[in-house]
Amino acid sequence: MKKHLLSFIIIASSALAFSQVPQRPLVEHFTQASCGPCASQNPVLKQTLDAFGDANYVRVSHQVSWPGTDPMNAAFPGGPEDRRNYYGVTGVPNACLNGGAAGAPNTVVTANTLGAAAANTTPYDITVTQTWADANTVTVNIDVTNTTNSDVSDANRIFVSMIEKHVDYGTAPGSNGEVEFECVMRQMYDATNGSPDATTGAALGTITAGATQNYSFTITNLPSYIFDKAQVIFAVYLQNQASKVVYQSAKSEVTAIPGIVLVSAQSASQAGTGLCDYSYTPGLIFTNNDPLTDIYEVVAEYSIDGGLNYQQTWAGNLTQGQSATITFPATTLNPGTSVVSYNIVSANGGQPWSSPQAVSIPDEVYNKLNATATNSPLEEGMENATLEPTTGYSRDLTTGIFDASNVLLSRFCILDGPTYNYGAIGGYGNSNRSIRARFYSISAGESMNLIMQKVNLDANPYVSFDIAYKQYSTENDKLSVYISTDCGATWAQVFTGQGAGIATLPASTTQYSAPSAGDWDTKIVDLANYANVNDAVIRFEFTSDYGNNMFVDNININNAVASVVEEDNVTFSIFPNPTSDKLTVQFNQTTDASIRLVDVNGKVVNSKSYTAQKTVNINTSRLEAGVYNLLVTTVDGVKVKKVIVE
pLDDT tens digits, 396-448: 999 999 998 778 888 999 999 999 999 999 988 889 999 999 999 888 999 99
Q: How far is residue 137's CA from residue 332's CA, in Å, rounded to a whole number?
A: 46
Q: How far is residue 212's CA from residue 196's CA, in Å, rounded to a whole number?
A: 24
Domains 374-558 and 564-645 alike in fold = no
Residue 437 main-chain phi, psi, to 5 deg: -100, 105
pLDDT tens digits, 205-248: 999 999 999 999 999 988 989 988 889 999 999 999 999 999 99
Beta pairing, strands 58-63 & 26-31: parallel
Domain 374-558 has CATH 2.60.120.200: yes
Question: Where does 263-365 sit in CATH, by number?
Answer: 2.60.40.10
The closest alpha carbon to 570, from 521, 637, 474, 506, belongs to 637
Question: What pLDDT, on the 0 to 100 scale, is given for residue 336?
Answer: 84
pLDDT tens digits, 53-112: 999 999 999 999 999 889 999 999 999 999 999 999 999 999 999 999 999 999 999 999
Give the residue extent of every domain in the chain. Answer: 17-251, 263-365, 374-558, 564-645
Is the predicted pLDDT of residue 273 greater than 80, yes or no?
yes
Q: How far is residue 501's CA from residue 518's CA, in Å, rounded to a whole number?
A: 18
Is the predicted pLDDT of residue 566 greater than 80, yes or no?
no
Question: What pLDDT, on the 0 to 100 scale, is given for residue 636?
Answer: 67
When pLDDT is averaged across residues 567-591 and rounded to a whole number, the result is 78
- The answer to whether 190 touches 160, Cβ cutoff 8 Å, is yes
- The answer to whether 491 touches 480, Cβ cutoff 8 Å, is no
Q: How far is residue 413's CA from residue 404's CA, in Å, rounded to a whole number?
A: 9
Residue 72 main-chain phi, psi, to 5 deg: -70, -40
- The answer to whether 206 touches 153, Cβ cutoff 8 Å, is yes
Domain 564-645: which topology? Immunoglobulin-like (2.60.40)
Beta pairing, strands 21-22 & 121-122: antiparallel
Q: What is the pTM of this model?
A: 0.63
Q: How far is residue 540's CA from residue 72's CA, in Å, rounded to a whole number?
A: 37
- DSSP H or E stretch at residue 526: strand 521-526
| Long-range interactions of 14-20: CB distance < 8 A, separation 24+ | 14/149, 17/149, 17/210, 18/147, 18/148, 18/149, 18/209, 18/210, 19/147, 19/148, 20/121, 20/122, 20/123, 20/147, 20/148
Other residues' Cβ atoms within 10 Å of the Cβ of residue 429: 16
Task: Give first-to-last CA distance, the chain, whole Å.
Answer: 113
More confident residue, 523 or 530: 530
When pLDDT is averaged across residues 306-323 and rounded to a whole number, the result is 95
Alpha-carbon separation of residue 35 from 32, 38, 40, 204 (angstroms): 5, 5, 10, 36
Is the predicted pLDDT of residue 561 greater than 60, yes or no?
no
Lowest mean pLDDT, pick from 11-25, 292-306, 496-510: 11-25
**Residue type for 587, please?**
F
pLDDT-above-70 percentage for the chain: 95
pLDDT tens digits, 160-198: 999 999 998 877 888 888 999 999 999 999 999 999 999
